[in-house]
Amino acid sequence: MVNRSLILAIIVLLALPVRAQAADETYRDWSMVRGAAGCLAMISVGLRDAGSGLLSVALLPQDDPEHPAIMTARVPLGAALSQPLTYTHPRGEEAIGLTWQSCTDRTCLASAPIGAEEVERLKRGTSVFFGFRPLPEVRPLIVPVSLFGVTRAWTAAQACD
């Protein structure tokens, strides 16, 4: 009896990440994505596949009141890693930089902790503009990213169990 219960519990636990990843919720342009490591708010610009699009941006909740989010941005492989990936708000204020972390055979990932004030600013905004050099010798590519739905997706990601 104990063995059956243990086996059943293992089967249920193994099935959870697959089921959780399939339970995405969409809020206008943003989605709340459930994964094995937790939940995040995400948007992809370009192709439908988040792993191969022009730009995917995610906000991951953190247990840090000063920096409640980690922002990540994923771009196609080939980006000029000697130049930072940055974003700005529409009023042309100072760019906020993300640090390159790693690359796979298809994409490169940059990230940075985001302060509580910046999270609130993103929630109040309508768009931001990400800039990066898709290849080392070309002009920067500026990608507009909608913020419609980021508030609800972020709230859902924070509340996710």
pLDDT (mean) for 38-62: 83
Please report which helix (H) or strand (E) contains residue 13, including its range: helix 2-21
Share of the chain above pLDDT 90, in %: 70
The gap between the terminal CA atoms of the chain, to the nearest Å, is 30
Q: What's residue 37's pLDDT?
A: 78
Which residues on neighbouring strands pair with residue 35, listed in sequence order?
38
Is 12 exposed, middle or buried, given 0-12, 13-18 or 19+ CB atoms closer than 10 A? Answer: exposed
Q: What's residue 68's pLDDT?
A: 96
pLDDT (mean) for 28-43: 92
Q: How far is CA 105 from CA 23, 73, 75, 82, 109, in A?
A: 27, 16, 12, 18, 12
Cα Rg of the chain (Å, integer): 18
Question: What are the structure tokens assigned to 37, written together?
Answer: 């490591």
Distance, CA of 128 to CA of 109 (rounded, Å): 18
Question: What are the structure tokens assigned to 146, written together?
Answer: 């909608």
Mean residue pLDDT across the chain: 83
State yes or no: pLDDT of 14 exceeds 60: no
Higher-confidence residue of 60 and 7: namely 60
State yes or no: pLDDT of 104 exceeds 80: yes
Q: What residue ranges define each of the domains in the chain, with the CATH number in brackets?
A: 2-159 (2.60.40.1880)
Share of the chain above pLDDT 70, in %: 81
| Strand pairing class (30-35; 55-61) | unpaired
